Chain A
Amino acid sequence: MPAIVEITEELIRSYINRAVGDVFKTMLGREPSAVRHGSSPNDPALPTIEAHRPQVVGTVGFVGEINGLIYLHLDLAFARICTCHMLGMTDAELDEAGDDVINDAIGELTNMTVGIFKNGLCDVGLPCKLTIPSIVRGSNFVIEPISAATRHIYYFQCENHRVVADILMQRDE
């Protein structure tokens, strides 16, 4: 078992950058770029997650030596684009297929992203397993973490769309 390394913000940032980059490049042929600004919730410069537009938020957790949850926020328009690309569907076909298809696709996209993130944690001595994805949809909502969890929010620009990775983590004592 590799030695447990300290889970620093820098490490988390590098893992999530790699995860979002790999998944979006492999599955969607897009190269998101990390938008550098504050990542701590206490950072006054941190912009709020813009949830006033319709959002599709994929959630996958990881449980084990370290527990956590990652929310991947996409606005609905981008979620539709991603779904069409992954499944080889047209807009009209997606309308016919319904919201469940979008939910499933974004759930899987989140699953892959969190998979890469948590595989990094496993490889530094924090074994954990993925949970089954779930989806939150809507607008004008706020996700509040429990006080024991540490929170990191990372923003990515993917062409004209914003992707937000909201990471909540709690080390198992």
Chain B
Amino acid sequence: MRYKVLTVDDSKTVRIIVKKAFKPYDVEIIEAANGVEGLAVAAKESPDLILLDVTMPVMDGVEMLTKLKADPALKGMPVMMLTAEGGRDNVLKIAKIGVRDYLVKPFKEEVLIEKCGRIIDLKPITEGPAKSKSIFDPADVLVLEDKPAIVQQISEGLKHTPWKVRGVASQGEALDVCTRTPPDVILVSLSLPEETAFSFFRILRTNVKTKYTPVFALVVKTETQQQQQAQAMGFSAIITKPIDTADLESKIAKAMNLDTSQRYYTFENDCLVMRLPENCSAPVLAEAAHYLKGKLTEAVDAGQNKVVIDIHHLRNLHMGVIKLLFQAMQTCRELALQFALVGNAQIISECKGFEDTRGWTFYETLEDAKANLGKSAAAPQLATAGV
């Protein structure tokens, strides 16, 4: 739903500044130059918020506000005064008529947005078709944790990523960071004193800049009550201590909606290489499977017809891996793609032990597989339609 904000001000300058301030958000700005116009536009457009000046020709803001509040159809519309009229008595008089907030000019655009964000749900917009961020793009991860060892562990565990991990020990520091440069993901320890994590979370969710930032709770595995409380409050994920950094990385990538396909699929010259990592846990396999059809289709669309399935990093073969490989080979056949397998000695040996994989042919290196692709013997036979 796109929110509508009506700005009623005789100054075009103010209306332009308001428009400029809301530009990064999914909000429609409608304008009126005085109270009469303001009432007419409010009745026609039913705005979600009205920003109202006081001193205007034709009909001033106080009169418009009084009429608005007297009209049963309009009185529910939230009004925020945006005016140079800031004398104590006048403010009190206007506030009594019924306004949600009062911002005295001069004003900073950030303050306007912050105050409006408390009344309507401001969602940032992305211009044009958004290019999804990949795992190779930099990102900021803020960790609010008073135990340096945990911050160190997270930094170490994520050091192979392009993500910058920053640890802070107090809510004040964390808020300071969030105000200056809102991070992409925030991790908060639930063991901070005086329920700091929960109050911090509430502040984040009322701030326009961090309203949609993923926030993870760091909690000891056995503290189930805290975990339930965090879940109920709407934390994006729960990370239990001791921290499994691979799991953390996967959850961060998911929360940031990162394109992780490059972990498993790369285009190398005229060939698509599907590569499985050393440890293929269920989330890893699910992630690789998620991109499978799209990547193979992309290869066909780009005029490529060769695929190398590289599992030489894999430590052991299990049914999940076999299922995924069958799925990959089946899709290659459907799309008329030539494919070859690359494996290490142990995997090749393990394949011999299964009826369904016994007939698979492996190359020892990627180069061998690429060189031999296209030759009739390269593609292993599918022993059965499924495993």
| B12 is an interface residue with CB less than 8 A from chain A | yes
B24 interface residue per 8 A CB criterion: no
Query: How far, in angstroms, from A115 to B87 measured CA to CA in the complex?
Result: 9
Given contacts A87-B17, A108-B13, contact A116 B88 (CB under 8 A): no
Is B147's beta carbon under 8 Å from chain A? Answer: no
Q: Tally chain B residues at the interface, Cβ within 8 Å.
A: 25
In the complex, chain A residues whose CB is within 8 Å of the CB of B88:
122-123
State the CA gap A93–B104 with chains docked (Å): 29
Do residues B11 and A104 form an inter-chain contact, with CB atoms below 8 A?
yes
A56 to chain B, nearest CB (A): 13
Q: Does A26 contact B (CB under 8 A)?
A: yes
The reply to whether A130 and B13 contact each other, CB–CB distance below 8 Å, is no
Is the beta-carbon distance between B11 and A130 smaller than 8 angstroms?
no
Q: Are B85 and A108 in contact (CB under 8 A)?
A: no
Instruction: Select from chain A the residue with minimum beta-carbon distance to B11.
Output: A108
Q: Are B89 and A122 closer than 8 Å at their CB atoms?
A: yes
Contacts of B105 in A (CB 8 A): 111-112, 115
* Chain A, interface SS category: helix
Which residues of B are found within 8 Å of A116, using beta-carbon distances? Answer: 84, 86, 106
Cβ proximity bits A75-110 to B, threshold 8 Å, 1 near / 0 not: 000000001001110000000000001001101100
Are the C-beta atoms of A88 and B13 separated by less than 8 Å? no
Count of residues in A whose CB is under 8 Å from the partner chain:
31
Of A108, A115, A131, which one neighbours B104 at CB under 8 angstroms? Answer: A115
CB pair B13 A132 closer than 8 Å: no
Contact residues in B for A101 (Cβ distance below 8 Å): 12-13
Instruction: Give the distance in Å from the alpha carbon of A105 to the alpha carbon of B106 in the complex.
Output: 13
**By the criterion CB–CB under 8 Å, are B84 and A115 in contact?**
yes
Contacts of B12 in A (CB 8 A): 101, 104
A70 to B56, CA, bound (A): 18
- B184 part of interface (Cβ distance < 8 Å): no
A27 contacts B by Cβ under 8 Å = yes
A131 contacts across to B, CB distance below 8 A: 55
Interface string of A125-154 (1 = CB under 8 A from B): 001111111000000000000000000000
CA distance A119 to B86 in the complex (A): 6
Chain B nearest CB, measured from A69 CB (Å): 14
Per-residue CB contact flags for chain B residues 32-73 toward chain A (1 = under 8 Å, else 0) read 000000000000000000000011110000000000000000
A107, B53: Cα distance in complex, Å: 14
24 contacts between A and B (CB under 8 A): A1-B89, A22-B106, A23-B106, A26-B107, A26-B108, A27-B106, A83-B13, A87-B17, A88-B20, A104-B11, A104-B12, A112-B105, A115-B104, A119-B85, A119-B86, A119-B104, A123-B87, A123-B88, A130-B55, A130-B84, A131-B55, A132-B56, A132-B57, A133-B11
- Please list the residues of chain A having a beta carbon within 8 angstroms of any beta carbon in chain B: 1, 22-23, 26-27, 83, 86-88, 101, 104-105, 107-108, 111-112, 114-116, 118-119, 121-123, 127-133
List 7 additional A-B contacts (Cβ < 8 Å) besides A127-B87, A132-B57: A83-B13, A87-B13, A108-B13, A108-B14, A115-B83, A122-B87, A122-B88
